[in-house]
Amino acid sequence: MTQKLFYENMYLQHFSATVTGCESAQDRWHITLDATAFYPEGGGQPGDTGYLGNVRVIDTHSRRDEVIHITDGPIQPGEKIEGKIDWEPRFSRMQHHTGEHIVSGLIHRLYGYDNVGFHMGHDAVTLDLSGELSGADLEKVERLANEAVWKNIPIEISYPSPEALAALDYRSKKELSGDVRIVTVPEYDICACCGTHVHKTGEIGLIKLVNFQRYKGGIRIWMLCGGEALEDYTRKNKDVFAVSALLSAKPHEITPALEHVLKERDGLKLELGLLQDRLFEYKAAAIEQGSFTIQFEENLSPNELRKYCLALCERCETAAVFSGKDREWKYAIGSKNQDVRVLGKAFNGAFSGKGGGKPGLIQGSVTGDPEAIKQFFQHP
């Protein structure tokens, strides 16, 4: 059994212990100690990293009553070592875990929804809720959660007796037995939890709900706390001022300014499309009428290839248009009188191409010399 020092003092960063076991696991080692300050993965919280002497601890897991330290090197059982956890990520997780309790507790109290999923990722913490909330609802939750931070409320941790636990109204994602660890944020939340937490809510610093979306009949919320929330704000603030300068608009006016730019862009795209249609009609009118024409153009998009090909089909029974450079080509082949899919299949086979479409129009890509492509259509 490993003595769990992280429950005795969640701020313990350095400790001494004796190695009780060391097992090889491919290119890693699984080391156990008689005591540890390394928190093992559990309750949605990742395992701690750090050092045991000079050996790097890459991850930490639990196995029954023992904590398994996954390391990049072995340590002899019986050896006394000095352990050191990576404090910055640990403290960030303590901030996030406590912040999550406040947010989940508020949502449960205000709207009756349960937290059915919780995960600390690299970019944010996610909370999965059993019901849907609006953006306005979450703004209210965020404001009240930060008020809890400002009050600097002491966090309470207890192990109630079975009788006291039975009478306690607390949150839990599953049925529990044995000693149940209860984490309480007075006025805000009472929850069964095995994770690490700050001593007072003021240490969270800031709680920010950065995004949400519908998820499995409820919603998923992305949230950040403390230093990570500040970093996120700093990045986004820089982006807002950069966009503000590009749009020549005040920071709080960039949304309507951008909407105006997008509206102008859409109008120009429509106008450009109409001009392109007229251009393709003029170019097609200059082509001599006949049974077949093949044209090579520069910088046409697939949609433009289609439009030009259809315009040519008004002059010729069958038309093929290619756009590209060197030996790489996008194409459109069309006809008003025949099924060009058979022709396209033979063409793709001859030039390692791919594509398809409807009887009157196919599109795809091929690799080949322009002269060889012309020869194919002269003798398909």
- Give percent of the chain with pLDDT exceeding 90: 84
Which CATH number applies to 276-378: 1.10.1130.10, 3.10.310.40, 3.10.129.10, 3.90.650.10? 3.10.310.40
pLDDT band at 176 (very low <50, low <70, confident <90, very high): low
Domain 91-234: assigned CATH number:
3.30.980.10
- Numbered ranges of CATH 3.10.310.40 in the chain: 276-378
Say what the pLDDT of residue 108 is.
96
Where does CATH 2.40.30.130 sit in the chain?
3-85
Angle at 338 between CA 332 and CA 343, to 5 degrees: 55
**pLDDT value at residue 157:** 96
pLDDT interval class at 142 (50, 70, 90): very high
Q: 18 pLDDT band (50/70/90 cuts)?
A: very high
Query: How high is the pLDDT of residue 177?
Result: 65
Architecture of domain 3-85: Beta Barrel (2.40)
- 315: CB partners within 8 A, 6+ apart: 284, 285, 287, 288, 289, 290, 293
> Looking at the chain, which residues constitute the CATH 3.30.980.10 domain(s)?
91-234
Report the chain's mean pLDDT, rounded to a whole number: 94
Based on the number of CB atoms within 10 Å of its own CB, is 143 exposed (0-12), middle (13-18) or buried (19 or more)? exposed
State pTM to two decimals.
0.79
Which whole number is the average pLDDT over 56-78? 95
Least confident of 35-39, 227-231, 313-317: 313-317
Q: Which two tokens stand for residue 151?
A: 């009050």
Tell me: pLDDT of 172 over 90: no
Does the pLDDT value for residue 250 go beyond 70?
Answer: yes
